[in-house]
Amino acid sequence: MMIAAMDVHYFETGCTAACVLFSDYRDRRPSASYTRILPTPADYVPGEFYRRELPCIVTLLQQINPLPDEIVIDGYVMLGDSPGLGQHLFKYLDSKISVVGVAKSKFKGSFGIEVFRGKSTRPLYITSAGIDQQKAAEKIRTMHGAYRIPTILKQADILAREKAREMVFYNHPCASAD
């Protein structure tokens, strides 16, 4: 089984999408990583986060062969009764790859399962498509790391942020970077 944890980070002239691959939710290190520099995405619209983030994730997935069996995203799969980023990704993938959403803040009306990790008093909110939500929450609960954010998910976040900082620092034009 191959699992991908994906994250996107934004900077003034574009964004970086990052992915770390791992084979077991208890892994502490990824087996591979991918990044992609992309031009400025769509503006953020509350409740329509997917319009900003989905193209970044889809472009990054084009680098990965074979595609993973499951994808973990930073965000919601469902926003209450409305599809969120994860549901749009699941549909884009023809409902063939399970998507687990790990959100750090509560979205009004959402039905994510609260998962408390480490000594944190703040939960993560887990939603899913293609996998039972309770099972997805248990997978996130068992992930490596003593803190609220699992180690592997933190690594995807750091990878996206570092690549963005690199782009800002070197002031590369986004269109020619990769």
Structure tokens at 12: 């003034």
pLDDT at 178: 47
> pTM of the predicted model, to two decimals?
0.90
Distance CA(130)–CA(143), nearest Å, equals 19
Secondary structure of residue 140 in the 3-state scheme: helix
Total tally of structural domains belonging to the chain: 1
Distance CA(71)–CA(58), nearest Å, equals 12
pLDDT at 169: 60
Distance CA(178)–CA(175), nearest Å, equals 8
Q: What is the CATH number of the domain that holds 162?
A: 3.30.2170.10
pLDDT at 120: 95
Give the model confidence (pLDDT) of 10-34 as tens digits. Answer: 888 889 999 999 999 999 999 999 9
C-alpha 134: how far from chain center: 19
Q: Please give the residue range of the domain that contains residue 159.
A: 3-176
Give the model confidence (pLDDT) of 83-140 as tens digits. Answer: 999 999 999 999 999 999 999 999 888 889 999 999 999 999 999 999 999 999 999 9
Calculate the alpha carbon distances from 15 to 24, 65, 178 in Å: 28, 22, 11
